[in-house]
Structure 1
Amino acid sequence: MTRRSHIPLHEAFATARAAGGHAPSVLGSRPWIIGGGGDRITLGADPDKRLDVADPLAREPVLSCGAALYGIRVALRALGVRPEVRTLPDPDRPALLAEITSAGEADPGSTDRRLYAAIERRRTHRGLFERALSDGAVLRGLGDAAALEGAALRQVTDPDRVRSLSGLVTAAEHLHRVERPGTEEQDRWVRAQGDPRAEGVHAEDFPAPGAGAPVFPERDYGRVTGLREARGTEIGTVALLTTASDDRAAHLAAGQALHRVLLTAADAGYAAAFHTQPLEEPLLRAFITERFCAGEHPQMLLRLGRPAPEDRVDQGPDDLPGGVSGIA
């Protein structure tokens, strides 16, 4: 069977598997197993990539797998396949998060094609931006993108509340540096300059010492010595991605919403920086839930903005290397 794209079905599914592997992921760890064959894809969580110290409930790997699932879905639609997705299909196999098959032909629209094309352009940003995301139409589009996947993107505009969130990031980062016993867990994903492995956080993607966004501190990767010069002056637009519930289904949906938001932003020329530290501390996460999310559950804290021209790379994916896939 062929579709409007004239790509055989098995080739479309092979391309979609590859697209899923370019999703953003916690520490660039790519904690998914994308399998299957022919016109079937299975998506599972890799138990060897759990972060037992930072994330004992495995929320972040499931969120990362949700991002991979959205990449698979948008690739199939762009290639003329209407994906049929079963999430959490087998209660006896909790690591199996989704099964994807074909529900027939799709007539890809311009949005499908643009978001698929944005997979190779999207990069995780670290440091400051050239300017914040202030375009109302783009912001509404990002909110719509999150809502279509069952989440909400809540922009934080009040300067005092922005400072409060910054303080929570700073406090959590301090706790992690002085109290967290699992530094080896994080060190596993640190990559020195020139390291050819795609997984992990690479020195080439990190701002040089003092060149980051001090009011929203980056995670301390210890052995990483950043290389990039400071090229921005703005912290960007601060937002929280939230869901109404906080179970595995919600985490999987949040990952899909996150990737859709990021691809929508990339299509418009914007990028995102992530700050997960306070969401890894139960008391701080509960505080953010109550004070900033109207009782919904925060799944990601991010800053959005226009990168400086030198940071707008157009090379092919792989990243969270080149910054493509890391949720830090």
Structure 2
Amino acid sequence: MSFATFMGVPMKTDAAATGASRACVLGVPFDCGTHPFRVGSREGPDAIRRQSRLLRPFFVDPQGRPANPLEALRLVDAGNVHCHPGDIARSYPLIERAMDELLDAGMTPVTMGGDGAVTLPQLRAVRKRYSDLVVLHIDAHTDTYDLDGFNTATTFTRAAEEKLVDAHASFHVGARGTTFIDGVIGFGRSLGFNVVPFSEFEADREGCIARIRERIGERPVYLCFDMDIFDPSCAPGVCTPEWGGFNPKEGIALLRAFAGMNFVSFDVNTVSPAQDIGDATAFLAATVMLECCALAAQTPSR
């Protein structure tokens, strides 16, 4: 069952008829279905839309942002991609095609997953338009593991191999906690990615943000934001929670610190409603989506 549109914005019914829209929400209800006991990110987009009804369009204190980014972007909602959860071969082309439609219409995609595997087909679509694309990946995990195949752990391994992004100007920010394979930070760096573990970011937040902005410069940026960057105390409904993460104030402040960068696509993922408590994670993800809209409205090319 699908819920109303994100924050009540108009539904996009035809790309050709929405030329005035500068950005579009897209749900990607897909997960690989391989997690030992946390399967449910396929339900994320509808949960986020439901909780977005708690948000209002105007920022009380815009601080240089548009007071109403939905209006500034003429935001519309394209609904959900008709994915086949657990079936990458069938779902990836559908996700890529849906992204193609939005990008061809000149709109900035603001998507919501889905698990971390949904990023790869989106990158494939965005890379067709931007040959010098970089990724800014904010996540408790690098999703860049030395493994074969297509899954949540190999999203950026495959992206580097397919040359979808310039790894040397791309960043993984926030890796922490535990994992099932050794050496993930070193392997990510061996592919060229700038990997900033959570401990390193915590030690010098302003310096890390300045380094990211300087290294990326004016290049087109794909922002991938995994909700497990937040601590499970405030975002329990994620696929792979890790203690010791951001609180909401810190996570939102990090997003706002990137204002003015050349964002061309946004991807918020890994909300798993089956494990969410009081819909807290879905509500926080809806807030992150709104912050992404504000970043889109402040992108120089927009």
Whether TM-score is above 0.5 comes out as no
Larger strand percent: 1
TM-score by length of 2: 0.30
Q: Higher RCO, 1 or 2 (CA under 8 Å, sep at least 6)?
A: 1
TM-score by length of 1: 0.29
